[in-house]
Structure formats: structure tokens, C-alpha cells
């Protein structure tokens, strides 16, 4: 998906603070995390508000996404996580504030984004094969009504192999397991070599046997691509991502997962949460709470 370098602006928008690029520093693969102030931002969100049917779901949202960032977005049902993603993808126009996209790769005038949607939005009865699903990720780069050529099909075969789906090229998506379908759709999202990959609740596709493979793939992709991962699974998020944003009506950002504690989660989820260590993986425990979100469908 292509997003033009540009912005949505309303009367209450304010200019962004100046950002000094350090592009040379961001081109090396360091063996330790690079501080965000030494990276180039590719998405800037300032004073964003958004909602549906006259009801505000998000307000005063500010966020920077950087090159090769791995941002985890968490929050309660109805808090606005999916609303934020829809604004970034251009599927929902904000009611206030602005979003600016800045491509950083040479020869690319627009910021390219790949998207792995929630499982509930996928029609598994649609008659399409694994190869056709992956190839569809190149549709935005093709002229209208143009056919895929040998070059595109070879690229699709390479991506299918990378996803561990060799031999399933001709299999209909309706005959795939949850994990196989997820990897086919992930292949579609990355075949265009995007600068940003957005995943909305990817763990809903699969059982735990395939989860480790998913995060191995994401770690490989993250070497050259920023990732935004939306999930209810706080324990997994804290193990995998570099930075965390909690969305619950507005947005609270942490540049490191080390600062995310039980009290912080309780404050921003607006309900009691306890993190329990279980080997190397923390688990979320929700205590008794009394708040209510009127419309969880807007999450």
C-alpha cells in the first residue's frame, strides 16, 4: 500500500517540532538498540483525534514511528487501537490533527506499507491460491489490468519459500491451516518490500505451535522494515517489541519495554493488571474492575 508524503490538516493542527535526520547512523546494523533520537521518523502523528458517527474514540494522540522500529500497540477493547491503525492506513480520516508520512528509501517517492488484517476480515471461501494471494501484494505497483510476469512470479516463489510454504503454491486458501493462512497473508504484506509492516492481532490466526515461527519471521523482516504490531497479548508484546504504546482513548508511549510495569499497565488499561514471570515470558492477569467501554467494536 502506498501513502503519499503528505498530511491531513485541520484548523486545530499545530506544526511538528523540527526533526534533525541522522540518516548515516540509521543505515548500520548495530548489535544494540539505536536510541530513537538517532533515527529518522517515517510516520509522525500530532494531536490526532478520530471517531465514528459523531462519537470521539481517540483524542490528543501523538506518536513517532521510526525506521526499523518495532512498536507494540496494546490497550483494552474499545480503547481505539484499530481506529488508530485505520487512520494510519488511510481507511479513516481523522477529525483533528495530522499524520505525516516521510519515505526514507532512495527512489521511492511514497511511503510503502504492508498490512496483515485481523482474521475476522478474511473470506476463506474466496477461490484464490497461495501464489495468487502473495502476488496480490504487488497489485499496487502494476498498471490497471496488467498481468503478472515471470519477474513477479519468481519474486512470489522466493517469498513463499521464505514463509515456509513451498509446495503449497496452488493450494486454495480455504484448505490452509490457520498458521499457513497467516504466513500466506504475511507474504502478501511483505512482497512489495514495504518500509512499514502493520499487523492487527496476528495471534488470533494460530495456535502456540506456530507463534514462535511468526516472531522469527518478524525479527528477520524488522532488519529492513519498521513493524507496528497490535495485540491483546501483553506478555508476548513485551518479549518481542522495542517500544510500546498503550491506546485507551488517547496514547501513552514508552520507548523501551523495560519501563512497562504492572502499575503502568493498570493505570493505562484502567483496570487492575498483574504481570507474573513464567520462565522468560510474563503473563497478564486481569483483576476485578468496574469500568465499562460503551462500544468495544471500535477497538
For residues 108-134, average pLDDT? 85
CATH top-level class for 2-298?
Answer: alpha beta
Which grid coordinates belong to 245?
504504546
Per-residue pLDDT band at 62 (split at 50, 70, 90): very high
CA–CA distances in Å: residue 263 to residues 230, 269, 278: 21, 10, 19
pTM of the model: 0.76
Higher per-residue confidence, 88 vs 19 = 88
Mean pLDDT of 57-64: 96
DSSP letter string over 133-160? HHHGGGGGGS-TTPPP-HHHHHHHHHHH
| Nearest CA among 138, 140, 142 for reference residue 154 | 138
pLDDT band at 39 (very low <50, low <70, confident <90, very high): low
| Segments of 118-237 assigned E as strands | 196-200, 226-230
Query: What pLDDT does 58 receive?
Result: 96
The predicted structure's pLDDT at residue 269: 64
- Does the pLDDT value for residue 225 go beyond 50? yes
pLDDT(286) > 60: no
CA dihedral sign of residues 29, 35, 37, 42: positive
More confident residue, 52 or 27: 52
DSSP for 40-77, written as a single string: -EEEEEEEEEEEETTEEEEEEEEEEEETT-EEEEE--T
β-strand partners of 44: 64, 100
Cβ neighbors of 142 (< 8 A, separation 6 or more) are: 148, 152
- Cell numbers for 134: 502473495
> Strand ranges (DSSP E) for the chain?
2-4, 41-52, 55-66, 70-74, 96-101, 110-116, 196-200, 226-230, 243-247, 251-254, 273-278, 281-286
Q: 24-53 burial, b if ≥16 CB within 10 A, otherwise e?
A: eebeeeeeeebebeebbbbbbbbbbbbbee
Sign of CA dihedral 235, 236, 240, 244: negative
Amino acid at each position: 500500500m502506498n501513502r503519499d508524503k503528505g498530511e491531513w490538516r485541520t484548523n486545530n493542527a499545530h506544526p511538528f517540532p523540527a526533526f534533525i535526520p541522522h540518516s548515516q547512523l540509521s543505515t548500520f546494523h548495530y548489535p544494540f538498540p539505536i536510541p530513537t533520537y538517532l533515527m529518522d521518523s517515517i510516520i509522525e502523528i500530532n494531536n490526532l483525534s478520530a471517531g465514528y458517527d459523531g462519537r470521539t474514540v481517540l483524542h490528543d494522540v501523538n506518536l513517532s514511528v521510526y525506521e526499523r522500529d518495532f512498536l507494540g500497540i496494546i490497550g483494552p477493547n474499545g480503547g481505539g487501537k484499530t481506529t488508530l491503525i485505520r487512520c494510519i492506513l488511510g481507511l479513516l480520516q481523522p477529525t483533528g490533527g495530522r499524520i505525516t508520512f516521510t519515505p526514507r528509501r532512495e527512489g521511492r517517492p511514497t511511503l510503502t506499507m504492508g498490512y496483515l488484517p485481523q482474521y475476522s476480515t478474511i473470506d476463506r471461501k474466496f477461490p484464490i491460491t497461495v501464489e495468487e494471494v502473495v502476488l496480490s501484494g504487488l497489485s499496487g505497483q502494476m498498471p490497471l489490468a496488467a498481468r503478472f510476469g515471470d519477474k513477479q512470479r519468481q519474486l512470489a516463489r522466493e517469498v513463499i519459500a521464505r514463509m515456509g510454504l513451498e509446495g503449497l503454491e496452488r493450494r486454495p486458501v480455504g484448505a490452509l491451516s490457520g498458521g499457513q493462512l497467516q504466513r500466506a497473508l504475511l507474504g502478501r504484506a511483505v512482497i512489495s518490500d514495504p518500509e512499514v509492516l502493520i499487523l492487527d492481532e496476528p495471534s488470533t490466526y494460530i495456535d502456540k505451535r506456530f507463534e514462535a515461527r511468526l516472531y522469527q519471521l518478524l525479527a528477520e523482516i524488522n532488519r529492513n522494515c519498521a513493524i507496528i504490531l497490535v495485540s491483546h497479548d501483553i506478555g508476548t508484546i513485551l518479549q518481542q517489541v522495542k517500544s510500546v504504546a498503550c491506546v485507551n482513548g488517547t496514547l501513552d508511549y514508552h520507548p523501551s519495554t523495560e519501563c512497562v510495569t504492572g502499575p503502568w499497565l493498570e493505570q493505562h488499561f484502567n483496570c487492575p493488571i498483574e504481570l507474573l514471570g513464567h520462565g522468560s515470558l510474563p503473563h497478564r492477569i486481569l483483576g476485578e474492575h468496574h469500568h465499562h467501554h460503551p462500544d468495544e467494536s471500535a477497538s
